[in-house]
A and B are shown apart, each in its own frame.
Chain A
Amino acid sequence: MDPVYYIYLATILFSIGAVGVLVRRNAIIVFMSVELMLNAANLVFVAFARMNGNLDGQTVAFFVMVVAAAEVVVGLAIIVQVFRTRQSASIDEPNLLKY
Chain B
Amino acid sequence: MTVMPAEGLFSLMWLLIALPLAGAAILLFTGRRSNSWGPYLGVLSVCASAVLGVLLLIEMMGLPTEERAITQVVYQWVFVGDFTVDLAFQLDQLSMVFILLITIVGSLIHIYSLGYMSHDPDKRKFFGYLNLFVAAMLLLVMANNYLLLYVGWEGVGLASYLLIGFWQHKRTAAAAAKKAFIINRIGDVGLSLAIMLMFVTFGSVTFSDVFGSATQASEGTLTAIGLLLLLAAAGKSAQFPLQAWLLDAMEGPTPVSALIHAATMVTAGVYLIARSNVIYNNAEWAAMAVIVVALITIFMGAIIGSAKDDIKKALAGSTMSQIGYMMLAVGLGPIGYVFAIFHLVTHGVFKAGLFLGAGSVMHGMDDNVNMRRYGALRSVMVITFITFMAGYLAIIGIPPFSGFWSKDEIIHAAFERGWFIGGAAVLAAGITGFYMTRMVAMTFFGKKRWESDVHPHESSAVMTIPLIILGLGSTFLGMALLFWGDIKSWLEPVVGYESEPTPLPTTAYIGITLIVVIAGALIGWISYARREVPVDAPSGNWLTRAARRDLYGDAVNHALVVAPTNYAARALVWCDARAIDGFVNGSAAVVGGLSGRLRRTQSGFIRSYALSMVGGAVLVLLALLLVRI
Residues of A at under 8 Å CB distance from B? 18, 21-23, 25, 91-92, 94-99
B 585-604 to A, binary, CB cutoff 8 A, 1 in contact else 0:
00000000000000110111
Residues of B at under 8 Å CB distance from A? 599-600, 602-607, 610-611, 614
Determine if B602 and A22 form an interchain contact, defined as CB atoms under 8 angstroms apart.
no
Determine if A98 and B606 form an interchain contact, defined as CB atoms under 8 angstroms apart.
no
Knowing A18-B614, A22-B611 are in contact, say whether A91-B604 is a contact too (CB < 8 A): no
Point out the residues of chain A lying under 8 angstroms from B606, CB to CB. 91-92, 94-95
Shortest Cβ distance from residue B625 to the other chain A in the assembled complex, whole angstroms: 14
Q: How many Å lie between the Cα of A91 and that of B608 in the bound state?
A: 11
Q: How many Å lie between the Cα of A97 and that of B603 in the bound state?
A: 8
Determine if A96 and B604 form an interchain contact, defined as CB atoms under 8 angstroms apart.
yes
Shortest Cβ distance from residue B65 to the other chain A in the assembled complex, whole angstroms: 93
Determine if B605 and A99 form an interchain contact, defined as CB atoms under 8 angstroms apart.
no
Q: How many Å lie between the Cα of A22 and that of B606 in the bound state?
A: 9
Contact of A91 among B600, B603, B607, B611 (CB under 8 A): B607
Q: How many Å lie between the Cα of A91 and that of B603 in the bound state?
A: 13
Q: How many Å lie between the Cα of A61 and that of B267 in the bound state?
A: 108
Query: In chain A, what residue has the closest Cβ to B599?
Result: A99
Determine if B607 and A92 form an interchain contact, defined as CB atoms under 8 angstroms apart.
yes
A sample of 5 inter-chain contacts (CB < 8 A) reads A91-B606, A92-B606, A95-B605, A99-B602, A99-B604
The dominant DSSP class at the B interface is helix
Instruction: List 20 extra interface pairs beyond A91-B605, A99-B600, CB under 8 A.
Output: A21-B607, A22-B607, A22-B610, A22-B611, A22-B614, A23-B607, A25-B607, A91-B606, A92-B606, A94-B606, A95-B604, A95-B606, A97-B604, A98-B602, A98-B604, A98-B605, A99-B599, A99-B602, A99-B603, A99-B604
Q: How many Å lie between the Cα of A35 and that of B610 in the bound state?
A: 15
Shortest Cβ distance from residue A64 to the other chain B in the assembled complex, whole angstroms: 19
Shortest Cβ distance from residue A61 to the other chain B in the assembled complex, whole angstroms: 22
Q: How many Å lie between the Cα of A25 and that of B605 in the bound state?
A: 10
Shortest Cβ distance from residue B615 to the other chain A in the assembled complex, whole angstroms: 10
Q: How many Å lie between the Cα of A94 and that of B608 in the bound state?
A: 13
Q: How many Å lie between the Cα of A97 and that of B605 in the bound state?
A: 8
Point out the residues of chain B lying under 8 angstroms from A98, CB to CB. 602-605
Q: How many Å lie between the Cα of A23 and that of B605 in the bound state?
A: 12
Q: How many Å lie between the Cα of A21 and that of B613 in the bound state?
A: 11
Shortest Cβ distance from residue B624 to the other chain A in the assembled complex, whole angstroms: 15
Point out the residues of chain B lying under 8 angstroms from A94, CB to CB. 606
Shortest Cβ distance from residue B220 to the other chain A in the assembled complex, whole angstroms: 73
Q: How many Å lie between the Cα of A32 and that of B611 in the bound state?
A: 17
Determine if B603 and A95 form an interchain contact, defined as CB atoms under 8 angstroms apart.
yes
Q: How many Å lie between the Cα of A21 and that of B607 in the bound state?
A: 7
Query: In chain B, what residue has the closest Cβ to A95?
Result: B604
Point out the residues of chain A lying under 8 angstroms from B604, CB to CB. 95-99
Q: How many Å lie between the Cα of A21 and that of B614 in the bound state?
A: 10
Q: How many Å lie between the Cα of A92 and that of B603 in the bound state?
A: 10
Determine if A92 and B605 form an interchain contact, defined as CB atoms under 8 angstroms apart.
yes
Q: How many Å lie between the Cα of A77 and that of B611 in the bound state?
A: 24
Query: In chain A, what residue has the closest Cβ to B617?
Result: A18
Point out the residues of chain A lying under 8 angstroms from B605, CB to CB. 91-92, 95, 98
Q: How many Å lie between the Cα of A25 and that of B604 in the bound state?
A: 14
Shortest Cβ distance from residue A30 to the other chain B in the assembled complex, whole angstroms: 8
Q: How many Å lie between the Cα of A99 and that of B605 in the bound state?
A: 11
Point out the residues of chain A lying under 8 angstroms from B614, CB to CB. 18, 22
Q: How many Å lie between the Cα of A96 and that of B606 in the bound state?
A: 11
Shortest Cβ distance from residue A20 to the other chain B in the assembled complex, whole angstroms: 11
Shortest Cβ distance from residue B259 to the other chain A in the assembled complex, whole angstroms: 73
Shortest Cβ distance from residue A81 to the other chain B in the assembled complex, whole angstroms: 16
A-B interface, 7 closest residue pairs, ranked by CB to CB distance from nearest: A98-B604, A95-B604, A99-B599, A99-B602, A91-B606, A97-B604, A98-B602
Q: How many Å lie between the Cα of A18 and that of B618 in the bound state?
A: 12
Q: How many Å lie between the Cα of A21 and that of B611 in the bound state?
A: 9
Shortest Cβ distance from residue B609 to the other chain A in the assembled complex, whole angstroms: 10
Q: How many Å lie between the Cα of A59 and that of B604 in the bound state?
A: 38
Contact of B610 among A21, A95, A96, A97 (CB under 8 A): A21
Query: In chain B, what residue has the closest Cβ to A21?
Result: B610
Query: In chain B, what residue has the closest Cβ to A19?
Result: B614
Shortest Cβ distance from residue A26 to the other chain B in the assembled complex, whole angstroms: 11
